[in-house]
Structure 1
Amino acid sequence: MSHLETAKAMIAAYNAQDVDTYVSYMTDDACEANYRGDVVREGKEGTRSGLAAAFARWPQNHAEIVEAQAIGNYVLMREHVTRGPATDGSALVEPFDVIAVYSFEGDKCSRVEFIR
């Protein structure tokens, strides 16, 4: 599977709220972070628990791939994210766009950084 296919499969798992499949595409020490900044989910387990909490809060959460391209060991995707109503009664998050940079080591994703 190419890096681009893997990143798209990660989004498919994300949209299905299948955290186990999502993290199966990642290295054990992978992380999700703000672009050139703070790590928001560290390691497979941190990513699994963080996404599970997000999906519990926003059960209608969905990311649409607007554009995607692979460059070497990186995949760049522009994603349109819709959260939907939160289960905790917090204010509605307006839909938003992000650029996600997926970094790969071998056939696994080692880091996802978000520009928003």
Structure 2
Amino acid sequence: MTAAGKLSNVDLIQAQLEAYNAQDLDAYCAYFADDIQVGDLNRPPHTSDIETYRKNYAGVFAKFPENKAELLNRIAVGSTVIDHEKVIRSPGGETFEVIAIYTIADGKVARVDFVK
């Protein structure tokens, strides 16, 4: 496996999506900066560090052990990668769509803005 810092921006986002779908919390969090900023688009961040981010996703993975995100579309320009995803909580269960806008700096995801 290639280190997160050696991946292209698109490959970095693909790798974190694959780690998310595998519910591999350590691998997933390795793609994010220690001071990761997460928020809803055009709002102040509600998460500003990797430990809070890790805790949030540990809860998601525990609550939805079959949770997966299906990539519907991806756009990449410079240090920004935008994914349109369909999230499936469990086979035959709840689904919803989300847009995740990833800003990449120094080989890691520095910020994520969500549109739901």
The bucket for the TM-score relative to the shorter chain is: 0.7 to 0.9
Corresponding position of 1:8: 14
Is 1:64 the counterpart of 2:70? The answer is: yes
Q: How does 1:56-95 map to 2 (within 5 A)?
A: 56-84=62-90, 94-95=94-95
Opposite residue 107 of structure 2, the aligned amino acid is D
Opposite residue 6 of structure 1, the aligned amino acid is L
Shift of 1:38: 4.6
Runs of 4+ in structure 1 over 2 Å off: 38-42
Is 1:115 the counterpart of 2:115? The answer is: yes
* Alignment check: 8 A CA contact 1:73 1:104 kept: yes
Is 1:33 the counterpart of 2:33? The answer is: no
The separation in 2 between residues aligned to 1:5 and 1:48, in whole angstroms, is 21
Shift of 1:35: 1.2
Shift of 1:41: 3.3
Opposite residue 77 of structure 1, the aligned amino acid is D
Residue identity (%):
35
Opposite residue 2 of structure 1, the aligned amino acid is S
Opposite residue 39 of structure 2, the aligned amino acid is A
The separation in 1 between residues aligned to 2:89 and 2:67, in whole angstroms, is 4
Where do 5+ consecutive residues of structure 2 fail to align? 1-6
Q: In 2 relative to 1, CA 36–93 (structure 1 residues): closer, same or farther, beyond 3 Å?
A: farther
The separation in 2 between residues aligned to 1:80 and 1:6, in whole angstroms, is 19
Corresponding position of 1:96: 96
* Alignment check: 8 A CA contact 1:73 1:103 kept: yes
* Alignment check: 8 A CA contact 1:103 1:110 kept: yes
Opposite residue 114 of structure 2, the aligned amino acid is F
Range moving further from structure 2, 19-28 or 29-38: 29-38
